Amino acid sequence: MVINSTIAVQNYDAARHAAAPAASSERRIEADYGAALGEFANGLQRAETAARASMVAGADPHALVEALAATELAVETAVTVRDKVVDAYLEILRMPV
Dihedral sign for Cα 41, 79, 63, 65, please.
negative
Largest CA distance in the chain: 87
| CA–CA gap between residue 32 and residue 38 (Å, rounded) | 10
20: left (phi over 0), alpha (psi -120 to 50) or beta: beta
Q: How many CB atoms lie within 10 A of CB 69?
A: 11
Whether the predicted model's global pTM rises above the 0.75 cut: no
Q: Where are the domains of the chain?
A: 23-94
Q: Which amino acid is at 75?
A: V
CA distances for 24 relative to 13, 28, 57, 78, angstroms: 21, 6, 48, 25
- Give 13-39 pLDDT, tens digit per residue: 777 766 666 666 556 778 888 888 888
| CA–CA gap between residue 57 and residue 10 (Å, rounded) | 72
- Give 34-73 pLDDT, tens digit per residue: 888 888 888 888 888 888 888 787 777 787 788 788 888 8
